[in-house]
Chain A
């Protein structure tokens, strides 16, 4: 058999041709689909990697929204064609996938930015330069500020500053002045530290700061310092299982007699079950979703929350989390904004800025040309964990 280098070299271009051939076919197919002119919506989510536990819920929230909207005629009078890419909790992958959504898939709206603030922060300048509206379901305020450089970027999540203001309101009520904030070293934790340094002095709180790594399994030294300093309330800021360690060790030191508060990043039934009776005295600053059924009927969110939770549970066989609500809200907001501008997607940003007192799932949204983050401290309630579920502890 004559199978030398020459015949092999002939095979290489053939293989390359075959590879590009399939690419062209895929390209033709998607341009044919475009002829029907659906609204092209893109999303970046991290359904693998460290942030996957958020990504799965956010993906489910978007899937639910897309299907519900399409069944009711779509968005702005057009059916939604939804594309999503997995950023694998990596910023570089998120950036490349965003460019693919914009240049290749030519999406007209982007919902959710990788369910990590770091990814959304990197995406914001890219989407803004491309003038593609981007409704982020990630937390950091810097995603949408300064507004002059973020005309096309909005976020559907609560600001840490507002959550801390709400906690300060509660501490005021209880006449507590001396507070400890123990935050993890991730962007989520350190963002809260930055905001507390503004909110604390403003509200006359005497705040001490401690930190821990998200993978830590021991925080006795930090908690002992907090105990010795005599803090009356301890606020913990993390989304990682280290928050369970915090609860158990605080109980060992007798700190559970003080006011223990976890942030909205820890509102998870799994974590509460892991903490066991160490969670008995805990309060969590949460969005209203987990206690939707306990809200007074006058609450503008109640009906929407119950409807969404029912649909979500029927489809995914698990209760909706606040993260699923955040991405679902992004889709709700895009639809509402398109209504305001007669379905003209090129004016979606103007439509977003006109949204006032709009009840979503996470809260009541109000945007303006000066403020691209829509929630306020009124959307935060304090909840506790009793009888295997979250309960409303402090409404307003």
Chain B
């Protein structure tokens, strides 16, 4: 028990160090802007007074180390700065756009796993058959398709062609929840299908590894039925690499969501950051980067915790 707590503390410490580095990297990114970020944000029509005012509002007139201190202090108080163009705190802007991104990511991962787990397991069990070869080929093709392009093709077929799903938008706050989810079907399928490729390949490889193990042979020799051998003995032991890759996929899904939200006109975090980049709204860019990276670090930590549940041999 003591070993677990010590390991947990060690892992928590590691996570905090990575988070501190994430904060530092985000701080540096905005500061590498050639010239004056305030001048860049305000454009060529700005007067020197406007620029000076914005510099002071953003705290850019203080020495770098003071700026860093203020930046870290703000984060610790939950203050990610003020969006220059939206004229609202970055945390508010992010919160207002979190829902579509959250559900888009959630549905995409559910679709990806729903495709990948059964297909990957079956492909490994039927290794070398026509089914397996088709799966291997299709996953390779799916991994080569940009999700935003698949989204555009889905719009052509299922929105413009059949009219089954809306081509864009999400509906306002008064729109019923189910109707809002209806808007997410096509983008979630586009993202989910592309990301299922990687998870399918990992599931297949992990299952192939496990199916060759002695304990699987022993289970078969004992006369356990094949379904039990595959689901209980093999899949359970193949879950660690599969969980890892699902955790990693979340980061890829967020990256994909940035572009997919733009394609489908979803008012999510991806759309927010793209318009922030086009308007050089640095506080929004750094706030989004920070929140997304922190979520990723947390997911990785949770994945590590899940290892113990899945495999009692793993000690933290």
To the question of whether A and B form a pair in one complex, the answer is no
Chain B residues within CB distance 8 Å of chain A: none
